Amino acid sequence: MNNTLNNTDLVKKSLRKRYFKERLFRSLGLVSIATAIIFLLILLADITSKALPAFSQTQLELTVELDRDRLGLSAQPDEAELMAADFRLVIRDALLAQFPEVTSRRDKRELYTLTSMGAEFQLRDMVIDDLSLLGQTITVPFMADDDVDAVIKGSIDRTLPESDRRVKDQKLAWIETLEASGQIDTAFNWHFFSSGDSREPEMAGIKGAILGSFYTLLVTLALSFPIAVAAAIYLEEFAPKNRFIDFIEININNLAAVPSIVFGLLGLAVFINFFTLPRSAPLVGGIVLSLMTLPTIIIASRSAIKAVPPSLREAALGLGASKMQTVFHHVLPAALPGILTGTIIGMAQALGETAPLLMIGMVAFIVDIPQSVADPATVLPIQVFLWADSPERGFLEKTSAAIMVLLFFLVAMNAIAIYLRKKFEKKW
């Protein structure tokens, strides 16, 4: 009896210590989660605040006179003639009409930089779409130059002394005049989502990189998914247990840890130099990334297949299903959620991969939007890298905007992974 009492006391004594340890561990856990969330929020807030200006674009409303003679066009111009015509002239005329006091060559040249280099193409495309505009006088919201954009968005401080300011007093005065007359406004930057890269920040868009990433991932998925799932099924279900198979397993695990740039070098040496596939193309990028993604998907698929309860296989085998039928009718469907999750995680990794693609030339400056997997292209993370590397102020916001687009796709892919897992999950 005495002994029992003693035990109760001892347990009570130790309880306090145990509960203290538990509380300590819990609070440590909370602190670490809070830290992680705070850093994530800081990162997102920083990127978003920097990126938001990129989604709007300053426009300069000018009244242009589309005079056939001034443009050197015939009465019924064909497209080739229109492409060759110099629409810059009428825009310059419009600017000069706005500021008649500008007369010197130098000042004129400065004045012409108020609109973007893209303004003439904007006007040309309008005329090609609607020939009846020729001969009319129309008011067009032209894309403003990145300096004007920066002044309007406030990223160039107007109060600084002239010597410290990128936009000089004279130009600033013009901008303020236009602003006062209500000719400057901002609109949603559709251009950012509908065009390729450019040397001019206001003209640079992300569509080329998005499509480049899309084609690259398409090639990666088409190659790595079937190969990886087939490899996983063979290794898990059919392979004999011997040294050779063990050796292959170890090497697959090692492959997952190989630095990605090494795959880039391999791609350069084998696919481009030896097989002479096109440089900078999503085709080669996709092949290289699928080499990288393969081990990830194989490992995920194998553990998903391993997790299928043996009773399911026995049930099928016991009914006289062949090995192949057992695998394809029962094991694979049961393992599918895990396999798909692994695949999408592998794809998300591939979407964010930069280093190997640098080696195969996807870092080139490419203006055209890729039309197929064989066209030169770049991908989202490399677009981020390229813009972050550019000196123009306007690219700063584009960089953050591109990061936002990249993060959006990553989050979307992870959401799809979760959805698929929930959808295909079955209980037994």
Concatenating the DSSP letter of every residue in 274-342 gives: IS-PPTT-HHHHHHHHHHHHHHHHHHHHHHHHHTS-HHHHHHHHHTT--HHHIIIIIIHHHHHHHHHHH
In sequence order, the 6+-apart residues with CB closer than 8 A to the CB of 203 are 116, 117, 118, 143, 191, 195
- Exactly one of 37, 318, 408, 415 binds another protein (CB under 8 A); that residue is 318
Q: Which of 188, 309, 365, 371 binds another protein (CB under 8 A)?
A: 309
321 binds another protein (CB under 8 A): yes
172 touching another protein, by CB under 8 A: no
Binding flags for another protein, 219-248, as an x/- string (CB under 8 A): ---------------------xx-------
Binding of another protein at residue 72 (CB under 8 A)? no
- Which lies closer to another protein via its Cβ, residue 294 or residue 334? 334
Residue 115, strand partner residues: 144
329 binds another protein (CB under 8 A): yes
Q: Residue 328 interacts with another protein (CB under 8 A)?
A: no
Q: How far is CA 20 from CA 9, 16, 38, 103, 206, in A?
A: 17, 6, 27, 83, 54
Residue 316 binds another protein (CB under 8 A): yes
| Minimum gap (Å) between residue 256 Cβ and another protein | 24
How many positions of this chain bind another protein (CB under 8 A)?
A: 24
Least separation in angstroms between residue 242's CB and another protein is 10
Q: Is 262 in the site for another protein (CB under 8 A)?
A: no
Within 13 Å and on the Cβ side, how many CA atoms surround 385?
15
Nearest to 282 by CA among 197, 198, 371, 367: 371
Q: Per CB under 8 A, does 253 bind another protein?
A: no
Of the listed pieces 90-98, 164-172, 303-311, 414-422, which binds another protein according to CB under 8 A? 303-311
59 in Cβ contact with 187 (< 8 Å): yes
Does 106 bind another protein (CB under 8 A)? Our answer is no
Q: Judge contact between 152 and 78, C-beta under 8 A.
A: no
- Could you say whether residue 317 binds another protein (CB under 8 A)? yes
- Find, among 289, 251, 283, the residue nearest to 377 by Cα: 283
In the DSSP assignment, the letter for residue 273 is I
Binding site for another protein (CB under 8 A): 240-241, 309-322, 325, 329-330, 333-334, 426-428
